[in-house]
Every structure is written in C-alpha cells, then in structure tokens.
Amino acid sequence: MICSNCNKTIPDDSEFCVYCGNKIVIENRCKKCGAIILEDSNYCQYCGSPIENNEEKDSNKDKVNIASENTSQNKPKRSIFLPIVAGILGLLVIALSVVSILLKANNDSLKNQIITNRTEIEALNDEIEHTKDDYNTLKKTTVEYDSTIKNIKSFANRSYPGYSSDSFHSTKAIVFMNRNQTLSNAFEVVGKYNTTYHLQHDSKGIDAGWNGEFNASDKCAISVTAKYKGTATIRFTNDYNSEYFDVLIVVTDLK
C-alpha cells in the first residue's frame, strides 16, 4: 500500500509507515497509484486501473469477518446457572450434614435417656419386690402374733396357769424368749423335797428340762431352748397328788 503522508510504498499489513512513522488509516486506495478512489468505483479515476483486487480483498475481508462472527456465535456461551446450581447443591450438602449431626446427637441423647429410664424402672421393680416381701413378712408376722395373742388369752383362761398351790407352782406363768435362745434358768418350780415331779411340753418348737435338783428353798431351775417361733405349753405334774399347773413359752424374733 501507499503511505498517505509520504506516498511511499509500504507493506500491506503495516499499521505505521516505516519511513515517516505516520499511523496508517486504511482507506479505499488504488493499489497502483495510491490515490483515494470513490466508493462503488470499478476503475481508479486517476490512473484508470481496475479495482477488482480491492473489491476481492474487501470481499475476503468481509468473509473473514463473517466467519469470525459465525465462530463467535457458534461458540457455546458459559451458563451462569451452573455456579448457582453448584452453590445450591453445596448448601444442601452442608445442611444435610448439619441435620445428620443433630439427629445423631439427639439419637444418642435419647438412647442415654432410655438407658437411664430403664435403670430407674429396674430399681423401682426391685423396690416393689422388696416392698412385697416386707408386706408378706409383716402380714405373716401379724398372723403369727395374732395367733400368739390368741394362745396367750386362751392360756390365761386355763384353770392352773403357772400355779397349782402354794407348795407346787412356778415363779413365772409366761416366759418370753427369742428364737434359737437358750435360758438355763428360764423360771423356777417350787415343790416339796423328796417328791417326784414331771414335765412335758406340747410342741417341738422348744426343748425343756430340769436344771439340777430342788434346793433348800424347795426350788428347781428349768432350762428351756427355743427352736421356732410360736407358743408352747409345759405341764408340770407330781406323784404326790393330782395337782398340776402349766407354763406358757412364747418364742418371737424380738430383741
């Protein structure tokens, strides 16, 4: 092409003139003489050269521009929705993780509460069983004491509770003992010297016997061993006459 400032020939792709440094402004010029030609002209108005090459160049340039535009249009546009969707998915993952952690913590708390409640229920069941045992024991004890009181009343209504005469009687009419207790001198029997006396009891819950012989005071100690709870009657008789008397032994667990 021809530089418009110094009219020297320079390469077609130059942006500045290599001779004068002038910025090249692409204009529709004649390739032969460099003169500016009119638009839509087929020949240069100064040298008469045909300008087909110029048209072909312009046509090729337009084709390149069109191809470039088509390429630009055919290039897929980057969607702005992908980052948004990715962000939403990320938030969902975080939310699910948080919910999972909270549910696990809540589940562990519920498990611990269930274990605690179960332990408390077992403790209550044990307490209920102990209460039942205590109630049954108390009920049984009440029945036993009722029976004991009934026997004591019945004994008190006998004709000879602990006494037959001044010369033949006991120092105690009723003796209270604990189970598995032995009294070597539970009570004493007053009787005549050189007289044979006998004793017998009506229960296997006790063992009773004479502890020695009658002393100078005409008394002899009676030894008693209590085996079981309840009441037992010891009857004393003699060979001198038909006199007799009874002594009641009451065996409990009371201290």
Least confident of 65-79, 113-127, 159-173, 205-219: 65-79
Cα separations (Å) of 29 from 3, 36, 56, 59, 252? 10, 4, 13, 15, 143
Hey, where are the domains in the chain?
A: 1-74, 94-157, 161-252
136, pLDDT greater than 90: no
The more confident residue out of 101 and 70 is 101
Average pLDDT over residues 197-218: 90
The residues, ordered by sequence, that sit 6+ positions from 23 with a Cβ below 8 Å of its Cβ are 15, 16
Average pLDDT over residues 99-114: 88
Q: What is the mean pLDDT of the chain?
A: 81
**pLDDT for res 55:** 47
pLDDT confidence tier of residue 254, bands split at 50, 70 and 90: low
Cα separations (Å) of 142 from 135, 138, 247? 10, 6, 24
Judged on CB neighbours under 10 Å (0-12, 13-18, 19+), 44 is buried
Least confident of 34-48, 110-124, 156-170: 34-48
16, 25 Cβ separation under 8 angstroms: no
Q: Which of 248, 227, 225, 245 is nearest to 236 (CA)?
A: 245
Average pLDDT over residues 140-151: 78
**pLDDT for res 138:** 67
Bridge partner list, 219: 190
Cα separations (Å) of 169 from 174, 183, 187, 209, 214? 13, 19, 11, 16, 13
CATH annotation of 161-252: 2.60.40.1080
CA-based end-to-end distance of the chain: 139
237, pLDDT greater than 60: yes
Give the full edge-to-edge strand order of the sheet including 219-226. 163-165, 168-170, 182-190, 219-226, 206-211
Q: Which of 150, 216, 148 is nearest to 177 (CA)?
A: 148
- pTM for the whole structure: 0.47
Report the run of H or E that residue 184 belongs to, with start and end.
Answer: strand 182-190
Q: What is the percent of the chain where pLDDT is above 70?
A: 84
**pLDDT for res 192:** 82
Task: Give pLDDT tens digits for 17-72.
Answer: 889 988 876 666 777 777 777 667 778 878 888 876 444 445 544 544 544 455 44
DSSP strand pairing (182-190 vs 168-170): antiparallel
Task: Give pLDDT tens digits for 71-86.
Answer: 445 555 556 778 888 8
- Token digits of residue 53: 């090459």
